[in-house]
Each structure stands twice: as structure tokens, then as C-alpha cells.
Amino acid sequence: MFPERLRALRRGQKITLKQLATELNKNLGPNEKPNTASQIGNWERGIRTPSYIEARKLAEFFDVSLDYLTGKTDRDDYDLAKLFFSSKSLSFNHTELSSEDRYEIFQLIDGYLTGRNHRKDTDKFYGQQEHLNLKF
């Protein structure tokens, strides 16, 4: 499962094996060896298996969980609450969100979900709402 997921993620990003190796080599630790295109190709063909550190770097680069990358889960779900409080940089419409923005948006979503659970006649409420087009 790992080789197929890695290949699909790389091809989905439209990057070559060499480009991926270059990206993975940007933040090498003191005792880490640089990745090569042939090494990553061997991972994609299932000939070799990456170390935990290499798998973690791949998951971070592609912004997926290790469980997804290794095939333990079929979907890569995110809990927005954790994302808002993570150290990852977040933006909306090319505007970076400050920590205050993130907290405010978290509060808005939390309030909406709490209120939704207490509303009556939700079908009538949603039936009157305009649909949001999320296709950019």
C-alpha cells in the first residue's frame, strides 16, 4: 500500500523523483544522509522500505498522516481544531492567519456547531440557506 500511496501523492503534485529528493534534503539532520531519486524510486516500486524518519519526512512534505501513507487508514482526515492549534502556517485566500485569527475562527466554528446542535427545525433552516460554492 505504501508504494502506491507514495507514487500517487508524488504524481498528484506533478513532481519528479529528483524534485522530491531535493525537497526532502532541505532540512537534513546532523547524521542524516541525503535522499536520492533512485532511492525514492525503489520505495515506490516496493523494492526498499524507508526508515521511520524518511516516512515521517514524506508525510510532512505531502501533508498527510503516517497512517494514511502506510495504508493503515483509507482517508486522511483532519480535525480542524487540532489544525488551528498546530504550529503549521495557515492561510485563507492567500492571507496568512495570525494566532489571534486562528483562535477567533476556532471560536466561530465551535459556536456554530454548538448552536447547530440546539437548533430546532434544522431542515427548514438549511432549506432557506444559499449553498456555498467551494470550487475555486
As a whole number of angstroms, the distance between CA 33 and CA 35 comes to 7
CB atoms within 10 A of CB 17: 19
Task: Output the pLDDT for position 90.
Answer: 84
Task: Output the pLDDT for position 1.
Answer: 86
As a whole number of angstroms, the distance between CA 65 and CA 61 comes to 10
- By CB atoms closer than 10 A (0-12, 13-18, 19+), residue 69 is buried
Task: Output the pLDDT for position 21.
Answer: 95
pLDDT along the chain (136 residues), means of 10: 92 93 89 92 94 91 87 71 78 87 89 78 56 66
**pTM of structure:** 0.56
As a whole number of angstroms, the distance between CA 67 and CA 5 comes to 11
Cell 500511496, residue? Answer: 5
**Closest CA relative to residue 9, chosen from 23, 22, 20:** 20
Task: Output the pLDDT for position 129.
Answer: 58
